[in-house]
Amino acid sequence: MMSPHVILRVVAKVLIPMIIVYGFYVHFHGEYSPGGGFQAGVVLASAIILYALIFGLDAARKVFPPSWARVGMALGGFIYASVGFASLIMGGQFLEYTVFHPDISHGTGQHIGIIAVEIGVLTTVTCVMIAIFYAFAGRTPEISDEDW
């Protein structure tokens, strides 16, 4: 007898890698088109959430443990703040990206700073969304299904 969820599982195994690739596309093309760290973080988190919905919460927690989410939330904020403090140390203002590469004509410093900040935002948003999902999905219902 075939499992009733086999089609969902096969489709999810095909879609999840595509969702992850699309999330990184949104991230790395965010300065040229709509997107960036926040949007990409939500897209990447949706891949883990889809995995949890199809394969179960316990399986998702094995793939992306809650401890990774806690560390990622802090790490993303640390990366963001580090870029700001690095620009202060280099003689600029907080999050002034031009100090990373003073040749303004090429804008290399801007790109370095923006990508670094967006990586921090991506990390934080992805991990916060996953942590919120784990918190809501893992709670026990107050009323049983029979009492409705």
Give which of 61, 75, 55, 90 is closest to 120, Cα–Cα.
75
Res 108: pLDDT: 73
Q: Which pLDDT band holds residue 62 (cuts at 50, 70, 90)?
A: very high
Name the burial class of residue 123, with classes exposed (0-12), middle (13-18) and buried (19+) by CB atoms within 10 angstroms of its CB: buried
Res 104: pLDDT: 63
- Residue 86's Cβ-side half-sphere holds a number of Cα atoms within 13 Å equal to 16
Residue 107 has pLDDT above 70, yes or no: no
pLDDT, tens only, 6-46? 889 999 999 999 999 999 999 988 766 667 889 999 999 99
Cα–Cα distance for residue pair 59/5, rounded to 1 Å: 15
Give which of 108, 117, 99, 5 is closest to 59, Cα–Cα.
5
pLDDT, tens only, 71-102? 999 999 999 999 999 989 988 888 888 888 77
Q: Which pLDDT band holds residue 69 (cuts at 50, 70, 90)?
A: very high
Phi, psi for residue 36 in degrees, rounded to 5: 140, -165
pLDDT, tens only, 112-145? 888 888 999 999 999 999 999 999 998 877 777 6
